[in-house]
A and B are shown apart, each in its own frame.
Chain A
Amino acid sequence: MSNTVTRIRLAVVAAAAGVLVLAGCSSSDSSDKSSGASCEPSKGKVTLQYWNTVNGMDKVVDLWNKDHPDIQVESKNISNDQYGAIGNALKAGKAPDLAQVGYDQLPTLRSQDAFVDASACKTAAGTESKFVPWTWSQAGFGGEGVYALPQDTGPMAMYVRTDIFKKYDVPIPKTWDEYTTAAEKLHKANPKLTMTFFDPNNAEWFNGLLWQNNANMYSYSDDKWHVTVESDKSKQVAEYWQKLIDDKLVRTDLANGSTQMFAAYQNDQMATQLGAAWGYTGIRDNLPGQAGKWSIVPMPTWGADGNSGDWGGSTVAFMKGGKHLYEAAEFNTWLNTDPEALALANEVGGLYPASTDGLKLPALTKGVPYYNNEKIFDVFAESSKKIDTDFSWGPTQKTVNLALQDAMAKAVAGDGKLTGALAAAQASALKSMDDLAIPATAGK
Chain B
Amino acid sequence: MTDIATRPTDAVSPPPRGRRRPRLDGGGPRAGTIVAFLTPFFLPFVLFYLVPVGYALWQSFRVVRRSGGQYGTSYTTFGGFEQYVEVFQNDEFWASIGRIGLFGIVQVPVMLFTALVMALLLDTHLLKLKGFFRTAAFMPYAVPGVIAAIMWSYLYSPQLSPVVDLLNGIGLKPDFLGPGAVLWSAANVSTWLWTGYNMLIMFSALQSIPQELYEAARIDGASNWAIAWRIKVPIIAPSIVMTTVFSIIGTLQLYSEPAVLRQISSNISSTFTPNMLAYTVAVGNNYQQAAAISVVIAVITFVLSFGFMRLTSKRAGL
Do any CB atoms of chain A lie under 8 A from CB atoms of chain B in the complex? yes
Q: For residue B271, which residue of chain A has the nearest CB?
A: A406
Q: Is B63 in contact with chain A by the CB < 8 A criterion?
A: yes
Q: Which residue from A1, A414, A436 sits with its C-beta under 8 Å from B66? A: A436
Report yes or no: B71 in contact with A255, Cβ–Cβ below 8 A: no
Using known A-B contacts A414-B179, A435-B289, determine if residue A396 contacts B159 with beta carbons closer than 8 Å.
Answer: no
Q: Scan B27-65; emit 1 where CB is below 8 A from any A CB, else 0.
A: 000000000000000000000000000000000000111
- Say whether B262 faces chain A, with CB atoms less than 8 Å apart: yes
Task: Indicate with 1 or 0, residue by residue over B269-295, a CB within 8 angstroms of chain A CB atoms.
Answer: 111000000001101111001000000
Contact of B159 with A2 in the complex, beta carbons under 8 Å: no
Say yes or no: B270 contacts A432, CB within 8 Å.
no
Q: In angstroms, how far is the closest chain B Cβ from the Cβ of A223?
A: 8
Residues of chain B lying within 8 A (CB to CB) of residue A410? 179, 269
Most buried by B among A6, A200, A413, A415: A413
Say yes or no: B270 contacts A112, CB within 8 Å.
Answer: no
Asked whether, in the complex, the Cβ of B71 is within 8 Å of the Cβ of A111, the reply is yes
> Once bound together, how far apart are the Cα atoms of A402 and B280, in whole Å?
8
Check if A112 sits within 8 Å of B285, measured CB to CB: yes
**B70: which A residues are within 8 A, CB to CB?**
141, 220, 225
- Point out the residues of chain A lying under 8 angstroms from B73, CB to CB: 113
Inter-chain CA distance A6–B285, complex, in Å, is 18
In contact, A2 and B284 (Cβ under 8 angstroms): no
Tell whether, in the assembled complex, residue A436 and residue B262 are in contact, meaning their CB atoms are under 8 Å apart. Answer: no
Find residues 215-273 in chain A having any chain B CB closer than 8 Å to their own CB. 220, 223, 225, 255, 259-260
Are B270 and A4 in contact (CB-based, < 8 A)? yes
Chain B interface mostly helix, strand, loop or mixed? loop
Question: Which residues does chain B contribute within 8 Å of A415, judged by CB atoms?
Answer: 179
Question: What is the CA–CA distance of A108 and B283 in the complex, to the nearest angstrom?
Answer: 11
A-B contact count (CB 8 A): 87
Q: Is B284 a contact of A396 with CB atoms below 8 Å?
A: yes
Name the contact of A435 in the complex, choosing from B69, B71, B86, B280 (C-beta under 8 A).
B86
- Assess the A432–B286 pair: CB atoms within 8 A: yes
Contact of A398 among B63, B72, B283 (CB under 8 A): B283
How does the 8 Å CB contact mask read for A95-117 relative to B, with 1 for contact and 0 for none? Answer: 00000000000011011110000
Instruction: Output the nearest chain B residue to A399 by Cβ-Cβ distance.
Output: B284
Residue A379 interfacial (CB < 8 Å)? no
CB of B234 to closest CB in A, whole Å: 45
Interface size on B, residues (CB 8 A): 30
Check A3 for interface membership: any CB of B closer than 8 A.
yes
Contact B266 A436 (CB under 8 A): no
**Complex interface: chain A residues within 8 A of B65 (CB):** 437
Count A interface residues, CB 8 Å: 42
Q: How far is the CA of A415 from the CA of B50 in the complex (A)?
A: 43
CB distance from A328 to the nearest CB of B (A): 20
Instruction: Tell me which of A1, A110, A405, A412 contacts B71 (CB under 8 A).
Output: A110
- B103-120 near A? 1/0 per residue, CB < 8 Å: 000000000000000000
Shortest Cβ distance from A144 into B: residue: B70
Q: Does B259 contact A (CB under 8 A)?
A: yes
Determine if B74 is an interface residue (Cβ-Cβ < 8 Å): yes
| Interface flags, B168-202, vs A, CB<8A=1, else 0 | 00000000001100000000000000000000000
A196 CB–B CB distance under 8 Å: no
Let me know if A201 is at the binding interface, CB within 8 A.
Answer: yes
**Given contacts A110-B71, A398-B283, is CB(A406)–CB(B66) below 8 Å?**
no
Which residues does A use to contact B, with CB under 8 Å?
1-6, 87, 107-108, 110-113, 141, 199-201, 220, 223, 225, 255, 259-260, 395-396, 398-399, 402, 405-406, 409-410, 412-415, 432, 435-439
B contacts, CB < 8 Å to A = 63-66, 69-74, 86, 159, 178-179, 259, 262-264, 266-267, 269-271, 280-281, 283-286, 289
27 contacts between A and B (CB under 8 A): A2-B270, A5-B283, A107-B71, A112-B285, A141-B70, A141-B71, A200-B266, A260-B159, A398-B284, A399-B283, A402-B280, A402-B283, A405-B270, A409-B266, A409-B267, A413-B266, A414-B179, A432-B286, A435-B286, A435-B289, A436-B285, A436-B286, A437-B63, A437-B65, A437-B66, A438-B66, A439-B66
Q: A396-B285, A436-B74, A437-B66 are in contact. List 14 more A-B contacts (CB 8 A).
A: A2-B270, A3-B262, A111-B74, A113-B73, A141-B71, A396-B284, A399-B286, A402-B280, A405-B269, A409-B269, A413-B178, A432-B286, A435-B64, A436-B64
